[in-house]
Amino acid sequence: MQDQEIKNMSNIIVGLDIGTTKIAIMVGRKNKFGKLEILATAKAVSNGVARGIVANIDQTVNSIKEAVEEIKQKSNIQINEVFVGIAGQHIKSLQHRGQIVREKIDIEINDNDLDRLKSNMFKLITIPGEEVIHVIPQEYTVDGEDSINDPRGMAGVKLEANFHVITAQVGAVRNIMRCVEKANLKPKELVLEPFASAVATLDSDEKREGVALVDIGGGTTDVAIFLDNIIRHTAVIPFGGNVITKDIKSGLQILEKQAELLKIKFGSAMYTEDQENVVVSIPGLRGRDPKEIAVKNLTEIIGSRMKEIIDLVYHEIKVSGYENKLMTGIVLTGGGSQLRNLKQLVAYITGKETRIGYPNEHLSSESKDTVVSPMYSTGVGLVLKGFEYSTKENKSKNMNEKDENSQNLSGGIIDKLKEWFTEEETN
């Protein structure tokens, strides 16, 4: 594909994954068959993020700019708007029930009614410093008749619904926005990263029959449970691949970069017989003697921490109430899922069928060779979610053109952020 041809394309979506270990940018478009074609990828070391939260604005901005520059040099694509992933230990979730009373029974339930009911959830009173960022409807109830998945077209006065509500710290959200804007990018939408990873790795059967997605990142491990194509439970565990590296560093008394290399090349979540008597030699610094590391000892260090993380994941699955409804088991994704024998360890501890989730569910055949690692699941998912939001946005514009008096009650995160900044300036 020629550079000029790429530059003139208007249907490009860009995903920006601001992670604890890496800043990743994914640029994609839909081909004529509706599959995602990845045009360019780039990543930079993330120096200013800790456990999903921006700890240093300037360092994070520099990392984003570095990745943007790599995209420009690789493909000559000028990036402007981005769909930004949000995660971190400040993310919380809760269940809430809402209701509205409709005035006109002769008019069937429509999108405006659902939007009004959903927008009320954004007004929930939360802990000071927190805001609602996502609201996911579960089942609806119309005049006492429950378990309705889609009430549109029905007649009724009282419309109720159960909602899965996700909150985040206002400061953490604003810092992410500031970093993106200081990198001369426009944040089009904030997307919860487990949502993005799910779009990239899960198929429709898994989401319908019940599945737990476990995204193991550098600083956190995200859990998202799906059933009947609805997200039922989300949780963030404040441990990821970085804590394993630090355990190796302190346990074997080596440098952190050596610990990371050991984890990647020789690390395993479970001991196997082929590790017996295998020794790795690490070069000594400044004339010191090399240090010999037994792979068996390395596995013991990694395995103990991974068991702790998996136990926390399994606890979240249990408290969700959906443990016995996960017919398709557990899907592992994220950079941490590449650890050897991790799938077997998860299956052993939870008793659930387990697989590794690769972000190739919606990719074109050409892009499957480009993006092969689970570490890119969030990036690919952000691009896919970007197309979803763009489709909804276009649909909303068309509806507004037909009815100029209709009001937009979607309660999107960007609109809420604008309100926050306006309130801040007023105060």
Which element (helix H / strand E) includes 328? none
**Helix 170-182 / helix 413-426 crossing angle, nearest 10 deg:** 100
Residue 417 has pLDDT above 80, yes or no: no
**Residue the block writes with tokens 């190796």:** 248
- 55-81 residue pLDDT tens: 999 999 999 999 999 999 888 888 899
Instruction: State the Cα–Cα distance between residues 419 and 127, nearest whole angstrom.
Output: 18
3-state secondary structure of 243: helix
Computed from CA positions of residues 385, 390, 396, 398, in that sequence, does the dihedral angle turn out positive or negative? negative
The pLDDT confidence band at residue 8, using thresholds 50, 70 and 90, is: very low
Instruction: State the Cα–Cα distance between residues 59 and 136, nearest whole angstrom.
Output: 34
Computed from CA positions of residues 402, 403, 404, 408, in that sequence, does the dihedral angle turn out positive or negative? negative
Residue 9 has pLDDT above 60, yes or no: no
Q: What is the mean pLDDT of residues 234-254?
A: 93
Lowest mean pLDDT among 2-11, 192-201, 388-397: 2-11
The span from the first CA to the last CA of the chain, in angstroms, equals 51
Instruction: State the Cα–Cα distance between residues 291 and 370, nearest whole angstrom.
Output: 37
- 208-236 residue pLDDT tens: 999 999 999 998 999 999 999 999 999 99
Instruction: Give the residue from 314, 313, 280 showing the smallest Cα distance to 294.
Output: 280
148, burial (CB in 10 Å: exposed 0-12, middle 13-18, buried 19+): middle
Residue 419, pLDDT score: 55
- 126-156 residue pLDDT tens: 888 899 988 999 899 999 998 898 999 999 9
Which element (helix H / strand E) includes 123? none
Residue 320 has pLDDT above 50, yes or no: yes
Burial annotation 316-350 (CB, 10 A radius, 16+ → b, else e):
bbeebebbeebebbbbbbbbbbbbbbbbebbeeeb
- In this prediction the pTM is 0.85
Residue 31, pLDDT score: 86
Residue 189 burial (CB count, 10 A): 18
- Radius of gyration of the CA atoms of the chain, in A: 23
| Distances, alpha carbon 54 to alpha carbons 15, 171, 231, 309, 416, in Å | 18, 10, 27, 23, 20
Residue 52, pLDDT score: 82
Summary mean pLDDT of the chain: 87
- What percent of the chain stands above pLDDT 70? 89
- What percent of the chain stands above pLDDT 90? 62
Q: What is the mean pLDDT of residues 20-27?
A: 92
Which residue stretches of 321-376 are H helix?
342-350, 365-368
- 174-197 residue pLDDT tens: 999 999 999 999 999 889 999 999
Q: How does strand 354-356 pair with strand 330-333?
A: parallel
Residue 5, pLDDT score: 43
Residue 3 has pLDDT above 50, yes or no: no
CB 157 within 8 A of CB 143: yes
Share in percent of the chain as helix, strand, coil (round to 5): 40, 30, 30
3-state secondary structure of 129: coil
Instruction: State the Cα–Cα distance between residues 261 and 44, nearest whole angstrom.
Output: 18
Instruction: Give the residue from 135, 164, 151 showing the smallest Cα distance to 411.
Output: 135
Residue 100 has pLDDT above 60, yes or no: yes
Strand partners, 92: 167
Q: What is the mean pLDDT of residues 290-299?
A: 91
Q: What is the DSSP string of 283-314?
A: PPSTTPPPEEEEHHHHHHHHHHHHHHHHHHHH
Burial annotation 94-123 (CB, 10 A radius, 16+ → b, else e):
eeeebebebeeeeeebeeebbbbbbbbbbe
50, burial (CB in 10 Å: exposed 0-12, middle 13-18, buried 19+): middle
- 323-376 residue pLDDT tens: 999 999 999 999 999 999 999 999 999 999 999 999 987 888 777 777 788 999
Which element (helix H / strand E) includes 146? strand 145-148
CB 117 within 8 A of CB 99: yes
